[in-house]
Amino acid sequence: MKIPIVENILSANDRLAEENARLLAAEDVLAVNVMASPGAGKTSLIVHTIEALRHRARIGVIEGDVASRVDADTIEALGVPVVQINTGGTCHLDANMVHGSLDQLPLAELDLLLIENVGNLICPTDFALGERIKVMISSIPEGDDKPYKYPAMFAAVQGIVINKIDLLPYVEFDLESFRKLVTGLNSGVQVFEVSCKTGEGIPAWADWLASAIAEMDA
Amino acid sequence: MKIPIVENILSANDRLAEENARLLAAEDVLAVNVMASPGAGKTSLIVHTIEALRHRARIGVIEGDVASRVDADTIEALGVPVVQINTGGTCHLDANMVHGSLDQLPLAELDLLLIENVGNLICPTDFALGERIKVMISSIPEGDDKPYKYPAMFAAVQGIVINKIDLLPYVEFDLESFRKLVTGLNSGVQVFEVSCKTGEGIPAWADWLASAIAEMDA
């Protein structure tokens, strides 16, 4: 009798995710679900995105972690509204956690809401949050074989940010075969090569987000 | 009524884990549960461990992944008995999956069984497999703040392998503050600094495992 229970949980989550999506659309906020392995650079990418877009868009952030508020402190230092969700052991954000956070953000004053999911390449794929765009970060030191091992995540996203390209000289990583693998799983996906250390590639990624915000307003 | 269901699942897993532990102890096999983020270097560490210990111990491997058999192929090429578990979406190994794999390994001819868990810093902590030792790998590019964010994993293990120390010149990582954080969460833990690229630090790690095998036989 396990399967019906899981189905109920998922559909309850989906209903709440739709409610989040309606709330966000009513305020013209583009919500982006940012997923990745632990340490792939989610917070660093969010920091760079804020710096690149802050004069073009009003940005808010939801930080999801099992424990701690170190990431929220980093974002708060940039003067951006931020809510920290501590899941207390749960391995992903869900629509209910995000729903509770939306109340604490000035949605009417935002254009872009970046939602940093818990560091995990598996579980977050199963839980819609009400986001308009799902992206994942895959970092160079994780290796170019990750699409083989975590295909659902690579297939679920609209954008893939390959981070830490500054480490390419020191790590074995075949960019071309990685891109081929990814395109095989997800033919329409946008792929960005960036370094959150040097800033390389951030403008193209930020422009893509800015276009998505403009589309939403149109 | 959700909590009782979860308790039942856990205790069923614990019962099977104990059965696995008995089976392994009866054959004097030391089982090690190897956990880490995706791309931290679990398979590379297992390859180096086989190379370092193959003349001192008879080694078998269980490879856990959501999908693919690339890791099992790597291990098989070393001439070591290996079973690949594909969890098909599940974010951790459990005692039942390992139980099914033990039947397919020549336990009477093994001293050491390395079990590579699914790449995930959260969920595997909750599922005993019947292992005698839990270890985790935390790699330099993941950053030195991971113990704040995934404290349960860092607290649950007997050994922590800090991998990719060859990248220390190129990545911000404060080894001393990382060690302090880790010891605060887990005072008795053994910490090893290794590079699976250069082989640095592998002998100390391999000696530790060899001592644990010797203790088991004593």
Q: With bands split at pLDDT 50, 70 and 90, how would you rate the model's confidence at B173?
A: very high
- Please indicate whether, in this complex, the C-beta atoms of A119 and B5 are within 8 angstroms of each other: no
Is the pLDDT at A1 greater than 50? The verdict is: no
Is the pLDDT at B9 greater than 90? The verdict is: no
Please give the Cα distance from A158 to A13 (Å, whole number).
21
Is the pLDDT at A13 greater than 50? The verdict is: yes
| Residues with Cβ within 8 Å of residue B46, at least 6 apart in sequence | B34, B61, B75, B114, B116
Q: With bands split at pLDDT 50, 70 and 90, how would you rate the model's confidence at B217?
A: confident
Task: Tell me the chain A residues in contact with residue B122 when contact means C-beta distances shorter than 8 Å.
Answer: 66, 89, 91, 118, 120, 123
Residues forming beta bridges with residue B136, ordered by sequence position: B35, B160
Least confident of A51-60, B1-10, B186-195: B1-10
Q: Name the H helices within chain B.
A: 2-26, 42-53, 70-76, 95-102, 146-149, 151-156, 175-185, 202-217
Q: Say what the pLDDT of residue B145 is.
A: 96
Cα B15 to chain centroid, rounded: 20
Is the pLDDT at B3 greater than 60? The verdict is: no
Q: Say what the pLDDT of residue A7 is.
A: 63
**Which is nearest to B35 in space by CA: B93, B110, B99?**
B93
Please give the Cα distance from B92 to A82 (Å, whole number).
31
Task: Tell me the chain A residues in contact with residue B141 when contact means C-beta distances shorter than 8 Å.
Answer: 39, 139, 141, 164, 167
Q: Say what the pLDDT of residue A5 is.
A: 60
Q: How high does pLDDT run on average in chain A?
A: 95
Domain parsing of chain B, residue ranges: 2-217
Q: Say what the pLDDT of residue A156 is.
A: 98
A65 touches chain B (CB under 8 A): yes
Please give the Cα distance from B42 to B40 (Å, whole number).
6
> Which tens digits make up the pLDDT trace of B21-75?
999 999 999 999 999 999 999 999 999 999 999 999 999 999 999 999 999 999 9
> What are the φ and ψ backbone dihedral angles of B12, each rounded to 5 degrees?
-65, -45
Residues forming beta bridges with residue B35, ordered by sequence position: B136
Please give the Cα distance from B13 to A137 (Å, whole number).
33
Q: With bands split at pLDDT 50, 70 and 90, how would you rate the model's confidence at B196?
A: very high
> Which tens digits make up the pLDDT trace of A78-92?
999 999 999 999 999
Q: To which CATH superfamily is domain A2-217 assigned?
A: P-loop containing nucleotide triphosphate hydrolases (3.40.50.300)
Q: Which burial class, exposed, middle or buried, applies to B172 when counting CB atoms under 10 A from its CB (0-12, 13-18, 19+)?
A: exposed
Token pair in block for residue B102: 């033990």
Is the pLDDT at A117 greater than 80? The verdict is: yes
A33 touches chain B (CB under 8 A): no
Helix-then-strand count for chain B, H and E: 8, 7
Q: Say what the pLDDT of residue A183 is.
A: 96
Q: How high does pLDDT run on average in chain B?
A: 95
End-to-end CA distance of chain B: 47
Q: Say what the pLDDT of residue B1 is.
A: 47
Residues forming beta bridges with residue A82, ordered by sequence position: A61
> Which tens digits make up the pLDDT trace of B94-125?
999 999 999 999 999 999 999 999 999 999 99
Q: Say what the pLDDT of residue A216 is.
A: 86
Please give the share of chain B, as a percent, with pLDDT higher than 90: 94
The 8-class DSSP code of residue A120 comes to -
Collapsed DSSP state (helix, strand, coil) of residue A105 = coil
Option in B39, B146, B166 nearest A143 (CB): B39
* Cβ A93 vs Cβ A113: under 8 Å: no
B6 touches chain A (CB under 8 A): no
